[in-house]
Amino acid sequence: MSLILASGSPRRRELLQLLGVPFRVLVADIDETPGSGETPETYVQRMASEKAQAVWTTLTAAERASSVVLAADTTVVLGSRIMGKPVDYDDARRMLLHLSGQTHQVLTAFALATARGVSGDFHCTQVTFKTLSEQEILAYWNSGEPADKAGAYGIQGRGARYIRAIEGSYHSVMGLPLDRVADHLEAAGITLWQEQTVHEF
């Protein structure tokens, strides 16, 4: 079986390479707008499933017979508020001020599409921020890191400076709960610890 990663995230590529699985990348193009009244848990799981299905539908019959599509979605949640990627500095500042000195949740769902259908899993990690100053927020924004990150921060980068505590999976906050993903990949017929190669199309 061959693996397709339905994500353009460089973090997810890095994480998947830790499992030693050859894969190619096909980016899913879907509407990521939350539904009216949709809970964060439902939203993140729906996104992962729809991304996997979107890429699956582009495969030929022969490819479907020998492929597994892996997709994921990560969402930062404070209370019941979903925090996506910031559109500009003011948006990032607003998000980071809300997260400042608070404990929030990072929800990551992943989905596997195979000839047998779509399956997946879900993980929640608690992350506590230090209190941030306006100067820290501006300096962090100017680093360029927050612009493409849910919640306007990256745990694996400079954003690590602002994290007081984490309860759960570090890798899940990055974008993939590796232990659970590995179990599902093996169950789907993917052999781990192969040659690490990535092909983009």
Average pLDDT, integer, range 138-144: 96
Q: Which two tokens stand for residue 92?
A: 């990032």
Do 104 and 77 meet the contact criterion of CB atoms below 8 Å apart?
yes
Pairing of the two strands 163-167 and 117-129: antiparallel
DSSP 144: T
Helix (H) or strand (E) run with residue 11 in it: helix 10-17
Q: How confident is the model at residue 145 (pLDDT cuts 50, 70, 90)?
A: very high
**Segments forming the whole domain that contains residue 38:** 2-200
Q: What stretches of the chain adopt beta strand conformation (E)?
A: 2-5, 23-25, 67-78, 81-83, 103-114, 117-129, 163-167, 198-200
The residues carrying an active-site annotation are 73
How high is the pLDDT of residue 166?
97
How high is the pLDDT of residue 37?
87
Q: What is the pLDDT of residues 147-181, one digit of tens each?
A: 989 999 999 999 999 999 999 999 999 999 999 99
Supply the CATH number for residue 117's domain.
3.90.950.10
pTM above 0.85, yes or no: yes
